[in-house]
Each structure stands twice: as C-alpha cells, then as structure tokens.
Amino acid sequence: MKKIFTLMVTAVVSLVATFNTAAQNNDTKEAEAKKVSILGDSYSTFAGHNPEGYAPFYPNDRNDVTKVEETWWDLYINAMGYELEANNSWGGTTICNTGYGRMDSSSSAFTSRVDMLGNPDIIFVFGGTNDAWAGSPIGEYQYEGWTKEDCKSFRPALACLFDQLREKYPKAQIYSILNSELREEINESSRTICKHYGIQLIELHDIEKQNGHPSIKGMKSICDQLIQAIGSERLIKPAGTWKVPDISKAEYEIMYKDIDNGNSDIDQFLETNPIYEQFYTPACSWYCGGSVNNITASSCLKPQGTKTYDAENLHDFNHESAWAEGVKGNGIGEYIIYEFPGNCPRVTTVMILNGYVRNEKLWRENSRVRKLKLYYNDTPIGILELEDSRTLQWFDVGILGNGLSAKETAVWTLKFEILEVYPGTRHKDTVISEIYFDGIDVH
Ligand SMILES: [Ca+2]
C-alpha cells in the first residue's frame, strides 16, 4: 500500500481541478445534517457555548479538558456528522426544584429550561448528577398533574421534564444520559421513568473524572458509549455520484498521453469524468497525508485465470480490479477491514465503486452491495445505503480517526459488513471495485 501512496503523491500534481472542486461542481444530494440540542449540567458546559449568564464548568484549572473539541457533545456531533442546535447546559443545576442546601432551584432547574432548545432532531438530557450530589428528595412516581411543589422531588420532576419535552418537540428523538457512580435510587428512578416514556437511557460506565468531572479520556468514553448505544441504525445515503465512463484504463492512458499533441478531447473528458483523473492522474487529495496500513477481508473469491479478487484490489486506484467475497451465496455478513495509522488524517467521506464496474456486462452479471454496515473500531456507526448504479458513490460519515497528534501505533479501523445486496443476473458473487477516502487534516 505504501507504494501506491508514494505513486499518488509524486504523480502529476499540475492537473486541472482538485477533488474537492470537482465534488462541489457535481450534482450532489446532500442530506441536511441532523440538529442536536443538549439540556444539561456542568458536564455538558463549555465557556462561550452555553446561554449567557449560565455558569460553565469547562475549561477548569482542575481538569485537563481545555478545548471544546474535547467535550463529549462536540466529539459526538462531529463523529456522527450532526450539527449543534442549542447547548442549554448550566453548571450546578438539578433536574428537580431542590438544589444544594435544600434551596429552591426552580429558576435554574431542568424543568424550567425546556423552551430553550431551538428546533432539534435529537435531544440529549444529561442530568441527575446534581440531584444526587445535593441529596434532593426522591419523591414518588407521578405521571400527571405536577405542581411546582411536586417538582421539588426528583421522580415527579424527571417525569414532568420528559412530558414537557415530548409535547414541545414531538418530532425530536430524546435520549437520557445517566452519569456513572450516582446513588442507586437516582439510577433506578431514571430507569423506571425512561421506560414509562419509551426514552432510551444510556447508563455510562467507567468514565474517568478529574475534580468530579469527565477528563479528556472520560469525555471520549462518553462519546464512544453514546455511539455504541445509539449509532448503529443511522442510514447514510450517497451525498453524490459520478458515472463510470465506458472506456478502459488502457484506452484512457493512450488518450491521456496524447494531451501533449494538442488533443483537446482529453480536457473535456476529464471535466465530465473526474473518476479517471482521481485514479490515473491524481491531483492533491486526502492521500497527500492519509494512508492505509492494510486491508483484510473475511473471505475472497479464488483467482480465476489471471484475475484475482483479493482485498487489496479495493484500494489500488484501479477501477478494473475488484474484491469479491468468497463464500456460498450472496456474501451477507462478509466484511472488509481497513486499518489506519493512529496519527492518520481523519476521514470524513467514504468513496465506493459498487459492483464489478470494469464494464456494464460484468456489473450486471455480478451482485452489488445494497447496504453496508460501517463500524469504527468495531462500534457500528451507521449503514451506508448504496444506489444500484454503475457509479462512484460517496458518503459523508462524520469525522472519524484520532487526529494528527495521536501516536502512530494507536491504529484505528473501519469495517464494512455486507447486510443486503442487489443480485447479479448471472453470478451470486458480490463485488466491490474500490473503497477509498476523503477527509480533513491535510494541507
Ligand atoms: Ca480496484
């Protein structure tokens, strides 16, 4: 793989448009990013990102989190490719109307802040920690007719909070996050009330803390646990597609050589067929800094004549070579794993040539992938829904990877598992010609 990388970097860089410009010019079908709002306490604060007048905890001298990019919510939103709608988090606040020292906290309690979340698709309620630490009264389970007095206790207040959120944001998906190491009656009450409202409760575990608050490591764990708990069913449709042209690599190369002889057709060809430019005469791309350590597959079809179907064919920047799964049937459950160096530039886009795209006949005769489950370090983060077309399709998958400051040895992986296929007319084998990447942290 190192060889391909070197080739790509040293290849003619003077060419026409870069990948990004080409992508922008194309007919994209970008889905609008989901908007996330947070109703929280100090764990979800960061100075400058919460409403004015609220007391943020972060950044703090006694905690190593110094950047907003290190908070659980910014990590999660970036990983999922979502957008922040509102972060209504306030340090020291309780869900119920009883705060520290048994003081009336009704003006800052979660129940008094439901109106300030904007227009979200997803709401995270991350509270209860201060109720536990302040020793707020637990109260009885109550699912209607709450008074301000009732909401001085945790159980009625939490139920009242969910009821208000449901009414005010009927389209939003609500998730409740429960801190680790809280007293059991808070945990048990949260489980019972979430169950009553059909709200998924994410119970955190093993969160590293400094001064009672998540550290950088703790924040990362929260993000990972959220992805693990709720990320798996996200459907990701192609953000755009490019047709695969009907000429071979050899024909293209002959045509390309002719460019010096004043062949103006090639310019026009490149403009309408950016795939060939990317593969065979690449300009600057994510690969100027990005690389892949190795690619493995759960199975590969045995060579047929001189043609191989190994996993390496997925990342050789040759549209004519392909990987095919090697089990009986359509290969449902078969998978491919890409391993990246720990300090590799981060990936935001997955590019896929679906099927045996070498020519139209082979493409039709062999099976193509319909759904690919995407895992980041073994955690499912979404399902790529591929079109049944002989095209390059690209998918915005959020920001994946550790970033440039990580150790090279802290490798990370992307796994692609076949969930569904479009059957071929002649063969059952499911084929993918190429999976490669675009991203950030380069240039
Ligand atoms: Ca290939």
Per residue in 40-77, pLDDT (tens digit) is 999 999 999 999 999 899 999 999 999 999 999 999 99
Rounded Cα distance between 246 and 252, Å, is 10
When mean pLDDT is compared over 126-130, 272-276, 374-378, the highest value belongs to 126-130
- Segment 330-356 shows an average pLDDT of 97
Helix, strand, or coil (residue 85): strand
Per residue in 240-269, pLDDT (tens digit) is 999 999 889 898 888 888 777 777 777 778
The alpha carbon of 279 and the centre of ligand 1 are apart by a number of angstroms equal to 10
Per residue in 186-239, pLDDT (tens digit) is 999 999 999 999 899 999 999 999 999 999 999 999 998 898 788 667 889 999
Task: Domain 2-30+237-439: state its class.
Answer: mainly beta
Rounded Cα distance between 261 and 270, Å, is 16
Tell me 367's DSSP state: B
Rounded Cα distance between 365 and 430, Å, is 10
The alpha carbon of 205 and the centre of ligand 1 are apart by a number of angstroms equal to 42
Residue 24: which H helix or E strand, with range? helix 19-25
The alpha carbon of 319 and the centre of ligand 1 are apart by a number of angstroms equal to 5
The alpha carbon of 209 and the centre of ligand 1 are apart by a number of angstroms equal to 46
Q: Where in the chain is the domain with CATH 2.60.120.260?
A: 2-30+237-439
Q: Where in the chain is the domain with CATH 3.40.50.1110?
A: 35-230
The alpha carbon of 159 and the centre of ligand 1 are apart by a number of angstroms equal to 55
CA 256, distance to chain mean position in Å, is 38
CATH of domain 35-230: 3.40.50.1110
The alpha carbon of 320 and the centre of ligand 1 are apart by a number of angstroms equal to 6
Q: Please report, as a single letter, which amino acid is at residue 248.
A: S
pTM for this prediction: 0.69
The alpha carbon of 114 and the centre of ligand 1 are apart by a number of angstroms equal to 52
